[in-house]
């Protein structure tokens, strides 16, 4: 009997192609119909393997979750960009390949990202999600996130509401 190991680790430049593939498939599955098509395609195309390799070489804090030999998901995290919120850390992105969603891997990746932020000295964390992205809202609420702010972002001429969730240290 063999056992597949689930691990979370810091991403390396060699992970860039896998992270780009996850970004592509997760964004298509998540945002098709929410973000206008042409704008979604531009956003996905901008974040190809070369973009991710450069970001990783420059020290972007990205975790990957592996299942056996496969990279199943990633989380991009760091200092909170919304200075008005009382949380020092932020998970900028947390995505899994669609075939790994609903299996508990997202929860594992979130908790490991939270530990990574705390270990780097960030007190508390925030996460933003589109208000129309019900699966994400349910996910963050199930993890104990409290709604703490609202904003909007324009994608291809369409303004979409965003919600911030917060967790104390």
**Residue 110 lies in domain:** 6-122
1 has pLDDT over 80: no
Looking up residue 59, the CATH number of its domain turns out to be: 3.40.630.30
Q: Is residue 50 a part of any domain in this protein?
A: yes
Residue 22 three-state SS: helix
Q: How far apart are CA 122 and CA 116, in angstroms?
A: 9
Q: How far apart are CA 151 and CA 61, in angstroms?
A: 25
* pLDDT > 70: percent of the chain: 98
Q: Is residue 75 a part of any domain in this protein?
A: yes
Structural contact between residues 87 and 167, judged by C-beta atoms closer than 8 angstroms: yes
Q: Is residue 27 a part of any domain in this protein?
A: yes
Q: How many domains does the chain have?
A: 1
Q: Is residue 134 a part of any domain in this protein?
A: no
Residue 144 three-state SS: coil
71 has pLDDT over 80: yes
- pLDDT tens digit sequence for 107-124: 999 999 999 999 999 999
Q: Is residue 16 a part of any domain in this protein?
A: yes
Q: Is residue 157 a part of any domain in this protein?
A: no
Q: Is residue 72 a part of any domain in this protein?
A: yes
4 has pLDDT over 90: no
3 has pLDDT over 80: no
The per-residue pLDDT for 2 is 60
- pLDDT tens digit sequence for 11-69: 999 999 999 999 999 999 999 999 999 999 999 999 999 999 999 999 999 999 999 99
The per-residue pLDDT for 154 is 94
Residue closest to 61 by CA, chosen among 105, 146, 148, 119: 119
Structural contact between residues 75 and 63, judged by C-beta atoms closer than 8 angstroms: yes
């Amino acid at each position: 009997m063999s056992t597949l190991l689930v691990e979370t680790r810091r991403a390396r430049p060699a992970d860039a192609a896998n992270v780009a593939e996850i970004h592509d498939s997760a964004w298509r599955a998540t945002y098709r119909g929410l973000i206008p098509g042409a704008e979604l395609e531009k956003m996905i195309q901008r974040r190809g393997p070369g973009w991710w390799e450069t970001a990783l070489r420059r020290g972007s804090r990205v975790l990957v979750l592996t299942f056996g030999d496969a990279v199943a998901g990633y989380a991009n995290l760091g200092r909170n960009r919304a200075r008005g919120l009382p949380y020092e850390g932020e998970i900028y992105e947390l995505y899994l390949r669609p075939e790994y969603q609903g299996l508990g891997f997202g929860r594992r990746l979130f908790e490991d990202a939270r530990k990574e932020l705390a270990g780097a000295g960030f007190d508390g964390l925030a996460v933003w999600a589109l208000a129309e992205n019900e699966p994400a809202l349910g996910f963050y609420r199930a993890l104990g996130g409290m709604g703490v702010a609202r904003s909007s972002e324009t994608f291809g001429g369409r303004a979409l509401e965003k919600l911030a969730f917060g967790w104390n240290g």
